[in-house]
Structure 1
């Protein structure tokens, strides 16, 4: 289920009357490690639902291939006046060989799960991945969000009668620069910042390309983001096109916050190895998720 884009309409117009099949030689791309590290937190749960998915990028129109790592670990520390006042770590294990899915190791000698109560502290979370002899690192802090006030079905359309409009209402948190990521399902995402509605109630419409059977329940989420993750998702949504999730094979190599630090010589500067073509794809973020639903009439 995809939204119409103006670019898609132009492209469709250009193709009218053209029936010849054209073979296009697409460029071969080097395989890169792809890190799906978007961790969505329900603060009412006891533990953070840590799940890191690793894959190798493929060529155009091909799915990423799951890959296994030598080790995956998340450390966290709280620093005040350049002094570490609290720290810990979580060792992750692959759910099954070759799956590329890593969760807190259930067979470790101690509980490797991270309680959601830790999110009340100003921890810096660092993801370490050892893969095929190379070391990758990403850092993030937890970002909260606001609840969705309401989701209702609208009657408007943009380009066709088969579209489905939903109207989302939420209230921005005052006195803070906020960035939000909306997940509408079906690989559909939207980002927004509060520059023009800071501290106010805000409402907007989103259009699905297709209509739905009456009684269909649509799940919609709002996720907190910082400015860096907001910018990353904004680029990825624009360049990946409709119908692709943020960690599927991208049409361009959008840089995330995961770095290849194998040859790092300065721990305070992550991207300093002077190898501009050596980098992974994907993102590591720990964010609060608030959910809402609407039932189609």
Structure 2
């Protein structure tokens, strides 16, 4: 009986081996573009002098070498209200550091990048943000009344348009949860946001438990950046890695001499309020 089973197993294995054929598929590869991570974030309670801008080049999704930091570029940011220029020094690892930046609310700033004979520019305004009033936890307002959710309360300033980006990230999670918000229907009122995590075997996500540490950031953003990040969040939450991108998202980094060779990424300036909460 055992010998018969082994013969059957070998026969099936040979059958599948005979039907296996390696197929090489040519995947189109676009030319590399400059990728700009220029987030000037001024945390409340700090002077905001130390800022980092990251430059890299785009790579094919299946590329084995992901080390693509761009060095030897010239990077600066100019305060358009005072014409003061801040130089970001090349750290030779794709990062450019400035330790004397002066953030001023409602001032317009221009980013300038010179790389490989190309010049990229972007203009943004430093937006203010209200403070997070409090964080509470409950099991009443989420989708599962037996699971802990965190509730964040934020007072929205009256009689002005405000746009927010909210980032939740539990320590140990690889990626944060991002939410874009505007105050069109809640102007001047207290806003309430909640986040709830449910057990998911496919993603490895687990619900909040006592002792979990969660970092919560509230950013004040411009309307232009709100429109950009809203589309980006929608696309990252839909489909899979092989899905067709419905809209090509362009940031605000412009190559005026060669518009077709625009950079990926965005130059933003925000004020941010940060809170760390430990689940009870």
User: TM-score, with normalisation over the residues of structure 2?
Assistant: 0.76
Distance in structure 2 (CA, Å) of the matches to 1:92 and 1:211 = 41
SS of equivalent to 1:238: helix
Task: Look at both structures and tell me which one has the larger radius of gyration over its CA atoms.
Answer: 2
Q: Which moved further from structure 2: 45-54 or 25-34?
A: 25-34
Q: Which runs of 5+ in 2 are unaligned?
A: 1-22, 170-174, 199-205, 239-244
User: TM-score, with normalisation over the residues of structure 1?
Assistant: 0.72
**Runs of 4+, deviation exceeding 4 Å:** 22-26, 61-64
Cα distance, 1:133 vs structure 2? 1.4
**For 1:94-128, what per-residue CA distance to the aligned partner results, in whole angstroms no more than 9, with x for missing partners?**
22x2x111012xxxxxxx61234xx15x5321111
Q: Is the 8 A contact 2:43 2:273 kept in 1?
A: yes
Aligned to 1:142: 126
Give the alignment of 1:1-297 within 5 angstroms. 26-60=27-61, 63=66, 65-78=68-81, 86-95=82-91, 97=92, 99-104=93-98, 113-116=100-103, 119-120=104-105, 122-155=106-139, 157-158=142-143, 164-185=148-169, 186-209=175-198, 210-241=206-237, 253-261=248-256, 263=257, 275=259, 277-297=260-280
Distance in structure 1 (CA, Å) of the matches to 2:271 and 2:119 = 28
Distance in structure 1 (CA, Å) of the matches to 2:235 and 2:276 = 28
Distance in structure 2 (CA, Å) of the matches to 1:47 and 1:178 = 22
Distance in structure 1 (CA, Å) of the matches to 2:50 and 2:59 = 28
Distance in structure 2 (CA, Å) of the matches to 1:24 and 1:149 = 54
Q: Which runs of 5+ in 1 are unaligned?
A: 1-21, 79-85, 105-111, 243-250, 264-272
